[in-house]
C-alpha cells in the first residue's frame, strides 16, 4: 500500500513537471476493471467529464465533481487509494497561508493541489522565482517541507 501511494505521489509530481504517466483511455469504460467502475460509480454518482488513465497497477479517473476538477486513484481491486484536487491558496489552512507569506513571499505559486488518502490530507505546492522551481509538501497543516526541486525549462 505504501508503495502504491509513493507511485501515486511520484505520478502527481511527474504531472506537475509536465510528464503525464500512464496510458490515457478516454470514455472507453469497457477497458476499465468492473470493480473499479462499480466503486467509482457508487462514490461519484454525479461526476461528469470523466477520463480514465490506466497505469500498471492503478487506475486514475479525472473528472468534474461539485464543480471541482478531481482525480481519484483506484487499485485494480477497486479500492479508492487517494483523491486529489487543485485548490486555490485561499483554500489552504490558515497556518500554511501564513507560513507561505512569511517564508516564501518572493516566489509565485504555479501549482497547488490537495491529496487525501487513508493517512490524511497533504498539500503540494510548486513555487517559482526567476531561477528556482521547487515543490513543497505539508502534512501537518502548519508548515511546509521541501519535497523536490524541479528543473526550469
* Helices and strands, counts by H and E, the chain: 3, 9
**Residues 31-52: what's their mean pLDDT?**
93
In this model, does residue 15 exceed pLDDT 50?
no
Say how far apart CA 14 and CA 17 lie, in whole Å: 5
- Burial label for 28, CB within 10 Å (0-12, 13-18, 19+), is exposed
The DSSP code sequence of 75-122 is: ETTS-EEEEEEE--GGGS-HHHHHHHHHH-TT-EEEEEEEEEETTEEE
Which letter does DSSP use for residue 131 in this model? S
Query: What's residue 55's pLDDT?
Result: 82
pLDDT tens per residue across span 84-109: 999 999 999 999 999 999 999 999 99
**Interval 18-29 mean pLDDT:** 48
Dump pLDDT digits (tens) for 52-67. Answer: 998 878 999 999 999 9
What pLDDT is stored for residue 17 in this prediction?
Answer: 39
Q: What is the pLDDT of residue 12?
A: 52
> How many residues in total does the chain contain?
153
> What is the structure's pLDDT at 5?
47
Q: Residue with C-alpha cell 487543485?
A: 86
- CB neighbours of 61 closer than 8 A, spacing ≥ 6? 40, 44, 47, 50, 51, 52, 53, 71, 72, 74
Confirm if 39 and 78 have CB atoms less than 8 A apart. Answer: yes
Question: Residue 40 has what pLDDT?
Answer: 96
Report the run of H or E that residue 133 belongs to, with start and end.
Answer: strand 133-138
Amino acid at each position: 500500500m505504501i508503495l502504491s501511494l509513493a507511485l501515486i505521489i511520484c505520478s502527481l509530481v511527474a504531472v506537475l513537471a509536465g510528464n503525464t504517466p500512464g496510458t490515457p483511455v478516454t470514455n472507453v469504460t469497457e477497458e476499465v476493471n468492473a470493480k473499479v467502475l462499480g466503486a467509482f460509480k457508487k462514490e461519484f454518482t454525479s461526476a461528469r467529464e470523466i477520463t480514465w488513465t490506466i497505469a500498471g497497477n492503478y487506475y486514475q479517473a479525472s473528472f468534474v465533481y461539485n464543480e471541482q476538477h478531481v482525480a481519484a486513484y483506484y487499485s485494480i481491486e477497486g479500492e479508492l487509494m487517494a483523491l486529489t484536487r487543485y485548490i486555490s491558496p485561499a483554500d489552504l489552512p490558515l497556518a500554511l497561508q501564513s507560513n507561505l507569506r512569511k517564508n516564501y513571499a518572493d516566489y509565485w505559486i504555479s501549482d497547488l493541489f490537495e491529496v487525501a488518502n487513508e493517512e490524511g490530507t497533504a498539500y503540494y505546492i510548486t513555487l517559482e522565482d526567476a531561477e528556482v522551481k521547487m515543490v513543497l509538501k505539508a502534512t501537518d497543516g502548519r508548515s511546509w517541507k521541501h519535497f523536490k526541486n524541479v528543473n526550469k525549462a
